[in-house]
Amino acid sequence: MAPLSKLKRNILIDSNPYMKWKLFLEKSRRYGIHPINKRRKRFGEFHHLYVELREYPEKFFEYLRMSISTYAFLLSKVNRRLTKITTNYRSPISAEERLVVTLRSLNGQPTRFQPCADALVVWYHYFGGPSSI
**133 found inside a domain:** no
**131 found inside a domain:** no
Which of 59-63, 81-85, 92-96, 112-116 has the lowest average pLDDT? 112-116
Q: pLDDT higher for 109 or 75?
A: 75
Q: Does one domain contain both 104 and 85?
A: yes
Q: Does one domain contain both 24 and 74?
A: no
DSSP conformation letters of the chain: -PPPPHHHHHHHHHH-HHHHHHHHHHHH---SS-HHHHTHHHH-HHHHHHHHHHH-HHHHHHHHSS-HHHHHHHHHHHHHHH-----SS-PPPPHHHHHHHHHHHHS----SS-S---HHHHHHHTT--TTT-
Q: Does one domain contain both 36 and 91?
A: yes
Q: Does one domain contain both 58 and 11?
A: no
Q: Does one domain contain both 104 and 77?
A: yes
- The mean pLDDT value for 99-113 works out to 70
| Domain range enclosing 15 | 1-30
